[in-house]
Amino acid sequence: MASQDPSSGSTDSDMIHVEFTDLAILQQQQQQQSQRRAGVHNDADDSAPSVEARDPIYFGYYALLTHQQNMLIDSVRTSTYQSAILQNHHIFQDALIMDVGAGSGVLSYFSAYAGARQVYAIEASNMARRIRQLLARTDTHNTFLKDRVTVVQSKVEDIKEELPKVDVIISEPIGVLLFHERMLESFVYARDTYLKPGGTIFPSSGSIFLSPFTDAILYTETMTKVRFWESTNFYGIDFSPLFDEAKDEYFAMPVVGHFDPKSLMAAPSAPYGMDFTTITREELLDLVIPFEWTVSYTGLIHGIGGWFDLAFTPPPIGDELGSTVTMSTAPNAANTHWQQVRFLLTEPLAVNAGDVVRGWLRCRVNAMRSYMIVGELVVNDTPLSDPADVGVTDALALHVEERPAWLAARVGSRRRGRWMLHEQTYAYSYQPNAATDAAFKPEFACMYPPSS
């Protein structure tokens, strides 16, 4: 799925609808917050906020050919899926396939090309009409698709037709940091509802990687935006009472974009794995991602960088093991439309080479088809909080303009942060060829290696 928030890029006529949809979401969140303050607890609302109010914006975004093109021309994404299908054509040959969130239909077309008997292309947006339009020309165009693809315009959770169990479910349900957009829940629902026992699910797993980064320029640019709200005489108005909220808001915005791998202060943590063949929907609603790094350089940690890998591992069929295909969105890998994401700290963390930094990110679903994230980093022997603490839960529940006590509490070698994964901002200044610049030295980025 596309990396930018689907609420962007709307036409003028869409904006009125977007405005009122967002207002409905805001009112729902305010009502839930009022209930919490009054001591009313609704487990269903708190554990799995509904995405339905956001659906018109979300599916409207993916109905546009311009956004489908953005994903199709991602050669890493498209070629990886094609390789996973064609290198395992024995699994697709004469099989029933379900393509969840079919979009342009390209995965359905690859599946048919690999010999599928029938492909059910499930697409809730108006791209379903575009797939039908393409299929209507199979007498003269793409003849290999003739009578091989059935289009179902629906969310997979809302299908009314009686569909058979399928041999393979294929989907591209991936967002920024793997889980943004909450399509993985639909992927898992399709697996539990429509996949035959022993069937194949592609992709089969994903892995999240986290690493500390330093970037004084990005931090300074962000603080420069914040400092506007220090103005005490802006056309006669004193905006300084809003400074603290402005700082919280700017630093709560994850920064999406390719970044220089040389800005990383340590090797990434052990991968946080998601096995899509077994993970449950409930596990996707509230994730805790632990990390531990041994710092390579003395300097300042300005935040946490994140990316993911995907794997397509088919189950063995008789003596046929199939081919595993992998893909990485790491900063030192080929660029993808997912890019990477960085979570800025409001206050950098000073570290020395050899220090051990431990911590976690707790990620909880929200009604914006995304996640609220809170996290903590500590250095060496500084005690690490329990991510299940009531203070952490409160920090996840409150609006960004409300500063919970847990978030404000600081120790010299501890940093805490809160981020809204749906409120992404973008940084496109990095030039990939700089990554191979032999003249680069760590001190250029204010990173100082230990003396030899």
Task: Calculate mean pLDDT across residues 415-441.
Answer: 81
CATH number (domain holding residue 384)? 2.70.160.11
Length, in residues, of the chain: 452
Rounded mean pLDDT, 134-161 = 97
Q: Does 452 map to a domain?
A: no
Output the pLDDT for position 262: 96
Domain assignment present for residue 6? The answer is no
**What confidence category does residue 5 fall into, taking pLDDT thresholds of 50, 70 and 90?**
low
181 flagged as catalytic: yes
Minimum mean pLDDT among 110-119, 339-348, 388-397: which range? 388-397
**pLDDT value, residue 36:** 39
Residue 70 pLDDT more than 70?
yes
Q: How many domains does the chain divide into?
A: 2
Q: Is the pLDDT of residue 434 over 70?
A: no
- Asked, for residue 223, whether it belongs to a domain, the answer is yes
Which listed residue (52, 157, 162, 172) is catalytic? 172
Overall average pLDDT of the 168-190 stretch: 98
Q: What percent of the chain has pLDDT over 90?
A: 76
Percent of the chain predicted with pLDDT > 70: 86
Q: Is the pLDDT of residue 267 over 90?
A: yes
What are the phi and psi torsion angles at 191 (to 5°)? Answer: -60, -50
282 is catalytic: no
Distance between CA 114 and CA 398 in Å, rounded?
49
Residues 448, 299 contacting (CB under 8 angstroms): yes
Mean pLDDT (the chain, rounded): 89
- pLDDT band with cut points at 50, 70 and 90 for residue 47: low
The answer to whether residue 388 is domain-embedded is yes
Final residue in a domain of this structure, among 182, 202, 222: 202
Q: Is the pLDDT of residue 77 over 50?
A: yes
Taking the C-alpha atoms of residue 310 and residue 143, their distance in angstroms, rounded to an integer, is: 31
**Phi, psi at 99, each rounded to 5°:** -105, 110
Higher pLDDT, 62 or 37: 62
Q: List pLDDT tens digits, range 350-385.
A: 999 999 999 999 999 999 999 999 999 999 999 999
Considering the domain architecture, whether residues 152 and 216 belong to the same structural domain is answered as: no
What pLDDT does residue 34 have? 41
Residues 419 and 304 reside in one and the same domain? yes
Both 219 and 118 in one domain: the answer is no
Q: Is 217 found in the same domain as 195?
A: no
- Same domain, yes or no: 294 and 184: no
State the sign of the Cα–Cα–Cα–Cα dihedral 301, 258, 68, 192. Answer: negative
Point out the catalytic residue in the list 181, 221, 230, 376: 181
Rg, C-alpha atoms of the chain? 23
d(Cα 361, Cα 306) in Å, to the nearest integer? 11
Residues 249 and 368 placed together within one structural domain of the fold: yes
* Mean pLDDT across 408-418: 85
Over residues 181-202, the mean pLDDT reads 98
* 367, 434: one domain: yes
202, 225, 260 — which closes off a domain?
A: 202
Lowest mean pLDDT among 72-81, 207-216, 223-232, 386-395: 386-395
Q: Residue 451 domain-assigned? A: no
Residue (of 51, 68, 188, 82) closest to 128 by Cα position: 68
For residue 49, what pLDDT is reported? 80
Statement: residue 80 has pLDDT above 70: yes
pLDDT classification of 334: cutoffs 50, 70, 90: very high
Domain termination site, one of 202, 222, 246? 202
Q: Residue 21 pLDDT > 80, yes or no?
A: no
Residue 135's domain spans which residues? 12-202
* Res. 98: pLDDT tops 60: yes
Residues 133 and 58 in one domain: yes
Q: Are residues 376 and 403 in the same domain?
A: yes
Burial class (CB in 10 A: 0-12, 13-18, 19+), 153: middle
Helix, strand, coil percent values for the chain (each to nearest 5) = 35, 25, 40
pLDDT bin (cut points 50, 70, 90) of residue 39 is very low
18 within some domain: yes
In a domain, 186, yes or no: yes
Same domain, 77 and 96: yes
Q: Are residues 68 and 142 in the same domain?
A: yes
Mean pLDDT of 293-312: 98
* Judgement on whether residues 181 and 225 belong to the same structural domain of the protein: no
